[in-house]
Amino acid sequence: MTEKEELRRQIDATDEELLALLNRRQSLAAAIGRIKNQEGSRTLDFRREEEVVAHLIHLNPGPLSHTALRNIFREIISAAREIQAPLGVAFLGPEATFSHLAALKKFGYASRFGPMATIQEVFGEVEKGKYHYGVVPIENSTEGVVNATLDLFAETPLKICGEIYLEVSHDLVSKSGQKLDIEVIYTHPQAHGQCRNWLATHLPEIPVLEVASTGVAAQKAAKNPNSAAIASAFAAPLYNLRVVEPRIEDHSGNVTHFFVIGPDAPGPTGRDKTAILFAVDNIPGALYKTLRPLAERGLNMTRIVSRPVKTEAWRYLFYVDLDGHQSEPEVREALSEIEQISAHFKLLGSFPKAPGVEKLS
């Protein structure tokens, strides 16, 4: 037996051990699922899942990278959820949108995914209970906030349950893969903004038509041989398209931030954020006074965005993210003060911080 054959024999033996351990883990997960059903508790426990992965990363001596470990256990945990109870997740579709990819990164392939035509439909289907959770874009690092998502948080009873930061890279794709065949380009408005300089330089005469998502753009390009789409690299094989030009975004390091929405906010993990929205009276220093409880307690505000109130001209809602969980004494006290000062206040939820930026590969 050669050295290579011996190493392969050892790998086969290790795989058999892994298989036995994975099945043992699934049996334990099924037993926990039965207990959850008796208790009437939900299948998904964000805090527990984060604790499991964080513990394993802490113990990991290598050579397995932390990223690879996280990806592997995402699917192991996803399979464990499936054996307990299938988990339904709605996202802005169709398949191969960045919202779809973010949902896969968060929930794993064993979940049941539902593509929705609009962000409003994602909220609506989760509110009706047709899906357990939804994944919606909230902000892009180059194009800014997604206003449709922010506006819906003012109305929905849903909570923010989690977050995902996803690397975003755009390919120009078409049926033939040839630039000379392109007479029109389909794209989502955010993707258009992220690739505007490249398009102006390389295809300045080609009209650009904006559609509901990058997935819809890919679908349209698949039906029209004289068109192209700006979409993710995952869209090309799914819709039988070829890459005309890869990575056409104007800025490398482009990242989109997504929120997970659901009926309940998870408990504290020790690495959390809290999201709120509020309105202030139109008097001098009102915003300063409203935010002062955060500064006095040393609480870090990670985002503030304003949006106009739809029912009252020149009135604004402020959306704020801050470090900490609503159950922590200092956070709870600060939120109580803000609520008393504000003309309107809404707690959108506390949720675990994302561990980092998820890569597309």
163-215 pLDDT, tens digit per residue, is 999 999 999 999 999 999 999 999 999 899 999 999 999 999 999 999 989 99
Asked if the domains at 88-168+255-261 and 171-245 fall in one CATH topology, the answer is: yes
d(CA 198, CA 183): 16
Q: Spelled out in words, what is the top-level CATH class assigned to the domain 171-245?
A: alpha beta
Query: What is the per-residue pLDDT for 61?
Result: 93
Structural domain boundaries in the chain: 3-84, 88-168+255-261, 171-245, 267-352
How does residue 162 score in pLDDT terms, banded at 50, 70 and 90? Answer: very high
Q: What is the spatial distance between Cα 172 and Cα 182, in angstroms, rounded to a whole number?
A: 10
Segment among 77-81, 235-239, 340-344 with least mean pLDDT:
77-81
CATH of region 3-84, choose from 3.40.50.300, 3.40.50.150, 1.20.1330.10, 1.20.59.10: 1.20.59.10
pLDDT number for residue 175: 96
Q: What is the pLDDT of residues 13-64, one digit of tens each?
A: 999 999 999 999 999 988 988 888 788 777 777 788 888 888 999 999 989 9
Cα–Cα distances in angstroms (integers) from residue 294 to residues 12, 67, 155, 270, 291, in the given order: 56, 34, 25, 18, 6
Q: Please state the pTM of the whole predicted model.
A: 0.84
Q: Which amino acid is at 345?
A: F
For residue 74, the model assigns a pLDDT of 86
* CATH number for the domain whose boundaries are 88-168+255-261: 3.40.190.10
Number of Cβ within 10 Å of residue 259's Cβ equals 27
**Residue in the structure block whose two tokens are 């890869």:** 246
Class of the CATH domain delimited by 267-352: alpha beta
> With 80 as the cut, is the pLDDT of residue 286 above it?
yes
Q: Is the pLDDT of residue 337 over 80?
A: yes
